[in-house]
Structure 1
Amino acid sequence: METSEIRRRFLQYFEDRGHTVVPSAPLPSPDPNLLFNVAGMAQFVPYFVGQQTPPYSRATSVQKCVRTLDIDEVGKTTRHGTFFQMNGNFSFGDYFKEKAIEYAWDLVTRPQSDGGYGFDESVLYASVYYEDDEAIALWKRIAGLPDDRIVRLGMKDNFWSMGIPGPCGPCSEILIDRGPEFGADRDWEAGDRYLEFWNLVFMQNIRGEGGGKEGYPILGELPKKNIDTGLGLERVSYLLQGVDNMYEIDEIYPVIEKASELSGRKYGVEHVDDVRFRVVADHVRSALMLIGDGVTPGNEQGGYVLRRLLRRAIRSMRLLGYEDPSLVELLPVSLEQMKKSYPELQPDFGRISQVAYAEEDAFRRTLTAGTSIFDVAVKETKSEGGAQLAGAKAFQLHDTYGFPIDLTVEMAAEQGLQVDTEGFRTLMKEQRERAKADARAKKAGHADTSGYRELREKGVTEFTGYQELATDSQVRGLLKEGAIASAAEPGETVEVVLEKTPFYAESGGQIADEGLIVADGVKLKVLDVQKPVKGLIVHRVEVLEGVLQPGLDVHAEVDHEWRVSACQAHSGTHVVHAALRQVLGPNALQSGSYNKPGYLRLDFAWTSALDQATRSEIEEVANLAVRQDLPVSAQYMTLPEAREWGALALFGETYDEQVRVVEIGGPWSRELCGGTHVKHSSQVGALTVTGESSVGAGVRRIEAFVGMEALHYLGRERALVRLLSENLKARPEELPAKVADLAERLRVAEKELERVRAAQVLEAAAALAANPKDVFGVQYVGHRAPDGVNGGDLRKLALDVRGRMPADKPAVIAVLSVNDGKPGVVIALNDTAREWRLKAGDLVRVAAEKLGGRGGGKDDVAQGGGTDPAGADDALATVEHTIGQLVTG
């Protein structure tokens, strides 16, 4: 039975029994503590904990899930996977244990011809919480299970909670006995013999504080009892499809088959290869589903997980021996299987594939650059007599070039080295701690927020900056290093909380205002403004004059020119966003922004670079909107009202129920935004796009200047044009043709120079062939060509010399040159030399090692290179010495 059919039958069964079919929530989790949804109940949590009233009493779903904790274990065993699907049926105060057990047993054992799964009842068991006599009695009555097929387990195994005080309850599982080949009889915890595939949670209690899976107090019973069940779709698939594990089911195994075909290696022969095949199959499917739900590769959070999955899949294909781009071959195979359950993937595959293929292209370039750094590190380690690559070097490869640590370990092993993985992990931990500390320092000023919360309890800071730039206020409190302080003197930098303030706190991509806070004999320079806790605005200030104390009456005033330019930049960001969507279409949605006085940048979802004509069109649409003097207004409404009105809620932002909608020109631009803006679009002033670039697969960045900064930028451009005109003695409109002509003439000259240089190199062939060195009967030519000879010309020279050598004597030709600071070597052998069992590939590796690099090729011609020009002469001498050893040994 196909996985899609197992899924369909589950939903149909419960829909026929009064359950509302609820679509899967997207993979990215709205929970700030989670990257992705990891359980079938995820979208129903607000109903279970009483935060919201469910719109139905019964529901069923198949939830897409991604588990990230075990990525490194994927493939090593057949248990670990990243993407999985959880079938569930849910009751919110409706039916309870009896119906849940009845439904589960009926669907599992009902004949396939009657819409069920057709499991053999004789091999099924039930596990229960050891004190749940009610569930035991129900299993006996409904399923007819005898005592020896009902297993009592403790709180650790058969009691569920969310890990925090709140709803909890006993569990009951359906297990299948897979036979003695999978483990010992009655061994419930070890091996794969008794496999649990459906978990029924009877949510009936309330738990108290306590850590771990057991030992916390049960405080009482819930007023309404709920049901949450989870049937592992992949597990049921491999049980019904007669295969041993999830990697062999219909949704996954075709990718393994394709990877085997591409690599020429077989699955099921060697464990090391099997691990790589499973990594490829799991990660390709996971990436397909993540990109389908809007995740794009990046360096943070969910984007980093996706990038890691894609790169591990690509790396595994390379380790299987497939060097060409692989996702273009594998992703469509996964699509063919997954679209049976998720048909929306098919029309979106153009975007999905662009994102994935762009990431593979970027990683292939990364591998090229990082491999050079790796080669140097290996050479340094070996030259110092070391046997272990330093953790700092492994960290550099990871941090700068995106090398997964296991890739570095694999490459090092090929060079006979180990890696200081402990040192690597230490540096990774330090980096994470620095990042967390930086974030805390930026947003909260101190890790301990108790001081801020104490001041917040005195009331919300009133923000007056939408209406005015100057406000009379009072100092509510001040903090030093996050702690409440009683005073601050000149020269100190402290944090100040006012009763009300006109200073905008950094948020929504807009940086904080600058200005002054003054009182009698006191003067403060505002350096930064943040919201460390909700409702509290905190000013970081430098005390310039006087003694600052709580209770002081002050006058807070924002720098007028700063705010004007900041408003121009933020409104300009909205204008550019609307122009992007008008030119490129609604999919060009903003995914991040940053604006400061006179400057803006905007990240948006797009998979290819914008040509000059498109950039010009976006700039023109934006400036037309500025010229039209469109009204800019802000309104408050509920979040549902804003969405119904068509306001854009941007990726990565969180919103309260009551939101502020900024509108420019009516429906042309409507966005949820708390920033400061101009009153009319004409006040944005000149707007000029200065650049467009990639910031990750599927994400582009556009940058622009506005207002006076735009005019200054255009002035610099005009001065540059004037200078070029004077130097090239051409009018501005003639410059493109003039520059193009100069470039073409330069190209022709360089080509001719290259031809002359190649001819000079090849002129040496006759003299070299006439004067070989005899090395135990082998005619050896070791020649260092002039610097600047490229690999192609070296190869021509080696082959030319070989062609001039006597065919009846063994001949080895080694030619070497240093080009752009990097040495390259080519070795050619004639047929007689190969009959003497000499191989060009073996000799070039010896030479390349002296050059700090590597090489390879066929037995007759091989090529290599490195990073150490100082080893050039030594490389030729080593080849000669090696020939002697091979011939005489």
Structure 2
Amino acid sequence: MKTAEIRRRFLDFFVRNDHTEVPSASLMHHDPTLLFVNAGMVPFKPYFIGAEDAPYARATSVQKCVRTLDIEEVGKTTRHGTFFQMNGNFSFGDYFKEEAIAYAWEFSTGAVEDGNLGFDPERIWVTVLDGDEEAEAYWKSVGMPADRIQHRGLADNYWNMGVPGPGGPCSEIYFDRGPEYGPDGGPEADEDRFLEFWNLVFMQEELATVRSKTDFDVARPLPRPNIDTGMGLERVAYLMQGKQNMYEIDQVFPVISRAAELSGREYGADATSDVRLRVVADHVRSGMMLINDGVTPGNEGRGYVLRRLLRRAVRAMRLLGVTDPVLPELFPLSRDVMADSYTEIAEQWQRISDVAYAEEDAFRRTLEAGTQIFDVAVSDAKKSQASVLPGAQAFQLHDTYGFPIDLTMEMAAEHGLKVDRDEFSRLMTEQRERAKADAKAKKGGATNVEAYRELRHGGESTFIGYTELETDARVLGIVDAGSSVPAASAGSVVEIVLDTTPFYAESGGQDADRGTITAPGLELKIVDVQSPVQGLIVHRVEVVSGEVTVDQQVHARVDADHRAGACRAHSATHIVHAVLRETVGPTAVQSGSYNKPGYLRFDFQSTHGLDADQRAEIEGRSNEAITADHEVTSQTLPLNEAREMGAMAMFGEKYPDMVRMVEMNGPWSRELCGGTHVRHSSQIGLLTLLNEQSIGSGVRRVEAFVSTDAFRHLAAERALVSNLSGMLKVQPDQLTERVGKLVADLKDAEKQLAAHRSKEILGNAAGLVESAQDRGGVAVVAQHVAGVGGGDLRQLAQEIRGRLGDRPGVVALVGGTDEKPAVVVATTTGARERGLRAGALVKDACAALGGRGGGKDDLAQGGGSDSTGIDKALASVEAAVDAA
């Protein structure tokens, strides 16, 4: 049974049992505690913790997940994979243990022809929490014999989020794979033979504190117990398909097969090669799914994870002997097997492939740079007659250049060296601990929403800002430093919640409104407006005068000019998006935006920058759309209907079932958007592009001024042109030609000056050669040549070395400036035969200057910051010659 069919059967089963089918959330789900969605319940977390009201009593989903904590273990076991899919069914205060167990049993063991999986009931085992007699009784009621129900402790069979919130016992379902996989005795005896494939969580308690997985305090029973289950789709697939592990299922193995073919290896013949092939297959699929959800390679956060996955895949293929580009061979295979479940992959394929292939090209260049660093490390080790490469250097190669430890170890072995794996592991552990501490800090910070939740339980904030800019309102609550307070007086900065508000909360890239909240004797200045909990609009205010109290009647007024400016900028952002898709193509998908009165920036996915003609075309088309006076309309409609109409949506953005769609010139610009807009495009006035640049691998950014800010910018440029024309005494249309001639003349003058300087410097070479000292048969020129730096210093050192002829010689020159002294060391063949290496000599010289240096045996250079050490630097070279 194919993986896609298992997925469909699961969803259909629960839909037949009155569950709402919920599409998978993006892997970039908006949860401040997570880098990626790592469990099926994550999109439903706000409902479980009470931050939002669930829109349905029952739900089912197949959620895309990524876990990267054990990335180094991928391919080594059947349990570690970065991307996986979690089937789940959920109840929000509806059914509980009895029904959850009955559903799981029926779907697992029911007949295949009835839409179930058809597992042999005799091979099913379950575990329950010690003391959960209720769950045990329900299992017995569906036919599970008592001798295949095992009781386990909190560590195995109790679930919580690691922070205060809901928790409860769980019941895990296992499949007996047979005696060839391990000893008998159920999950307690062996979890390789008895493989867990479904976990039923019974959320029934609210935890007050959580010190560890097994140490926590229960505050009270939940008023409405919930169900959260997770069935590993890949695990079920390899059980149903008779495979050994998740890498051999139909959605993964085609990549292994092709990678084996490219490398000339046979899968299953060699354990080391098999691990590498599994790494390739896992990371190709994971990378493709991350790019599909809008992640682009980068040096931090989500982008770094994607970059690491793609580069590990390429590195694994190199270790298998394949040095040609591999992702164009492997990505299409993963696309073809995943498209049955995720049709958007085919729709986004051009963008996905562009990002992946560009990253491989970039890594191939980086690999060359890293190899050079590796070669220097090997050379240093051999000079010191060491047999072990320091772990710190291996870690630098891993952390800076993306070299995995196995690649470094293999390359070191080719030079007869080992790697200090213990030191490398220690540094890796320290890095992981820092990451865990950071994640824990973020998790703890994300729980401080209790005051907002309490206010939200009193009802939603009604937003009327689409049509009204001021209104009378009542103060529902005041929050100060995370706690509800009854009042706030002049001079304080607090958060205010109103029953009705015209103020737009920052979202969708649009800056928050500004304005005032007033009452007799009271003035509050709006500092910011946010929506920390769905349905609740929170106004951060400075109490200018008076005292504000809960239940007070006030008058809220939006700054009309600020709002109008925000509307113009936001509508201009939609225009730029539409024009970019026309100019660059449909792969120019939005990656982010920000707009405020007079200014916008728009990030889009593209592996190529915009040339001058494209920038001019984008600016021109945008202004044509503005002057065309397109009507800007909005409507509220079901999410699926909006998507069918082609409405653009942000990757990773969470949308409700009913959405607001903003249109400009009909389908030309059709986006899901909750922001405020002009009524006609002509109200924007004018747009001028400021610049276009890369902000990360595969992501570009354009910035623009809008309306009067655009006019002021153009007026300033006009004044600049006028001033330059006056200075150069030419007409504006002749300015480019005149400046070009000046630049050409300047370059010619610089060349002549450089030639003169070079001649002068080289003219000093003869005198410096005459200053050479004979130190044990080696001619040494060690001099301070003030003011000579860069290429001139290097050229002078080479000239002197050439004039020394065939005799052993060392040239050490210190030049540069007092602030940044520079060093160049050059050696002749005769000197090198005596063991005098320029790279080693320059390191000692630079150390005396408080800096570093390096290079080859015949020529090396470096610098420092302490010019008082110049004499010491030159003396160090002379001493080294004396000791040779």
Q: Within 5 Å, which residues of 2 pair with 1:122-521?
A: 129=127, 154=152, 169-175=171-177, 195-196=192-193, 198-201=195-198, 206=202, 208-209=204-205, 212=213, 230-231=234-235, 251=255, 286-298=286-298, 302-309=302-309, 329-332=325-328, 334-335=330-331, 338=334, 341-342=337-338, 351-352=351-352, 354-356=354-356, 448-521=448-521
Q: Equivalent residue of 1:580, what SS?
A: helix
* Other-structure match for 1:663: 663
Question: Which residue number corresponds to residue 855 of structure 2?
Answer: 856
Q: For residue 384 of structure 2, what is the aligned residue in structure 1?
A: none
- Mapped pair 1:868 → 2:872: no
TM-score by length of 2: 0.71
CA distance in 1, matches of 2:230, 2:436: 41
Alignment of 1:657-806 (within 5 A): 657-791=657-791, 793-806=792-805
Q: How does the TM-score come out when normalised to structure 1?
A: 0.71
Q: Could you tell me which residue of structure 1 aligns to residue 613 of structure 2?
A: 613
Instruction: Give identity over the alignment, percent.
Output: 39
SS of equivalent to 1:506: coil
**In the TM superposition, what are the counterparts of 1:14-53 in structure 2 within 5 Å?**
28=27, 32=31, 35-36=35-36, 38=38
1:589 Cα deviation after fit: 2.2
- More displaced 10-residue stretch of structure 1: 349-358 or 213-222: 213-222
Given the superposition, is the C-alpha separation of residues 365 and 29 from structure 1 closer, same or farther in structure 2, using an over 3 Å criterion?
A: closer
1:885 corresponds in structure 2 to 883
Distance 2:848 2:426 in 1: 22
Equivalent pair of 2:203/2:225 in contact (CA under 8 Å): no
Q: Give yes or no for contact 2:294–2:591 (8 Å, CA) kept in 1.
A: no
Instruction: Please report how far the alpha carbon of residue 697 of structure 1 lies from its aligned counterpart in structure 2 after TM superposition.
Output: 1.6
2:831 counterpart residue number: 833
Q: Is the 8 A contact 1:162 1:168 kept in 2?
A: no
Describe how 1:588-627 pairs up with structure 2 within 5 A.
588-627=588-627
- Check conservation: 2:204, 2:225, Cα contact below 8 A: no
User: Residues 574-602 of structure 1, C-alpha deviation per residue, up to 9 Å, x if partnerless?
Assistant: 22222222222222222222111111112
Amino acid at match of 2:235: L
What is the aligned partner in structure 2 of residue 383 from structure 1? none
In the superposition, relative to structure 1, how do residues 313 and 829 fare at CA in structure 2: closer, same or farther (>3 Å)?
farther
Question: Equivalents in 1 of 2:477, 2:294: separation in Å?
Answer: 44
Paired position in structure 2 for 1:569: 569
Deviates more, 1:614-623 or 1:649-658: 649-658
For 2:536, what is the secondary structure of its paired residue? coil
CA distance in 2, matches of 1:362, 1:593: 26
Given that 1:177 and 1:195 are in contact with CA atoms closer than 8 Å, whether structure 2 keeps it comes out as: no
SS at match of 1:231: helix
CA apart distance, 1:67: 1.6
The one-letter amino acid of 1:208's match is: Q
CA gap 1:298/1:768 in 2 versus in 1, 3 angstroms: closer
Q: Distance in 1 between matches of 2:430 and 2:299?
A: 22
Deviation at 1:679, TM superposition (A): 1.5
Q: Secondary structure at the match of 1:209?
A: strand
Q: CA deviation at 1:231?
A: 2.4
Which residue in the other structure is 1:527 paired with? Answer: 527
Report the alpha carbon displacement of residue 27 of structure 1 after superposing the two structures with TM: 7.0
Find the aligned partners of 2:297 and 2:366 in 1 and give their Cα distance.
16
Who is 2:412 aligned against? none
One-letter amino acid of the structure 1 residue matched with residue 627 of structure 2: R
Q: How far did residue 359 of structure 1 move?
A: 5.6
Deviation sequence 1:524-570 (CA, Å, 0-9, x none):
32222222333333323333333433444333222222222121112
Gaps of 5+ in 2: 15-20, 49-53, 90-101, 129-135, 208-212, 377-389, 410-418
Contact 1:199 1:230 in 2 (8 A): no
Question: C-alpha separation between the residues in 2 aligned to 1:29 and 1:787?
Answer: 54
- Structure 2 distance, partners of 1:817, 1:76, is 54
Deviation at 1:514, TM superposition (A): 1.7
What secondary structure does 1:758 align onto?
helix
Question: Displacement of 1:620 after TM fit?
Answer: 1.4
Compared with structure 1, are the counterparts of its residues 769 and 102 closer, same or farther at alpha carbon in structure 2 (3 Å cutoff)?
farther
In structure 1, C-alpha distance between the alignment counterparts of 2:77 and 2:85, rounded to whole Å: 18
Aligned AA (2:504): Y
Q: Against the structure 1 CA distance between its residues 237 and 206, is the aligned structure 2 distance closer, same or farther, given a 3 Å change threshold?
A: closer
Q: Secondary structure at the match of 1:571?
A: helix
Counterpart position of 2:641: 641
Number of the residue aligned with 1:821: 820
Q: CA deviation at 1:572?
A: 1.5
Is the CA contact (8 Å cut-off) linking 1:70 and 1:81 kept in structure 2? yes
Aligned length in residues? 795
- Structure 2 residue identity aligned to 1:172: Y
Q: Does the CA contact (< 8 Å) of 1:813 and 1:827 recur in 2?
A: yes
CA shift in 2, pair 1:53/1:424, >3 Å: closer
Conservation of the 8 A alpha-carbon contact between 1:89 and 1:229: no
From the superposition, tell whether residues 840 and 413 of structure 1 become closer, same or farther in structure 2 (CA, over 3 Å).
farther
Q: What is the deviation of 1:717?
A: 1.3
User: 1:751 Cα shift?
Assistant: 2.5
Contact 1:524–1:541, Cα closer than 8 Å, also in 2 = yes
1:68 aligns with 2:68: yes
Q: Look up the equivalent residue of 1:231 and give its one-letter code.
A: R
**What does residue 628 of structure 2 align with?**
628
Residues 224-276 of structure 1, C-alpha deviation per residue, up to 9 Å, x if partnerless?
A: 999876527799999869999xxx98846987999999xxxxx999xxx9999
Q: CA deviation at 1:315?
A: 9.9
Structure 2 Cα separation of the partners of residues 522 and 99 of structure 1: 68
Contact 1:252 1:285 survives alignment (8 Å) = no
The letter of the residue matching 1:779 is A
Deviation readout 1:839-878 (Å, 9 max, x if unpaired): 4444344444445223132x4x132313436344433322
Amino acid corresponding to residue 521 of structure 1 in structure 2: G
Query: What secondary structure is seen at the aligned counterpart in 2 of 1:508?
Result: coil
Aligned partners of 1:815 and 1:847: how far apart in 2?
10
Amino acid at match of 1:329: P
Q: Is the 8 A contact 2:37 2:65 kept in 1?
A: yes
- Tell me: CA distance 1:87–1:430, structure 2 relative to 1, closer, same or farther (3 Å): closer
8 Å CA contact 1:777–1:810 kept in 2: the answer is: yes
Q: 1:734 to 1:243 in 2, by over 3 A?
A: closer
Amino acid corresponding to residue 854 of structure 1 in structure 2: G
The one-letter amino acid paired with 1:879 is V
Secondary structure in 1 matching 2:512: coil
Cα distance between partner residues in 1 of 2:547 and 2:881: 84
Deviates more, 1:724-733 or 1:350-359: 350-359
Distance 2:113 2:666 in 1: 56
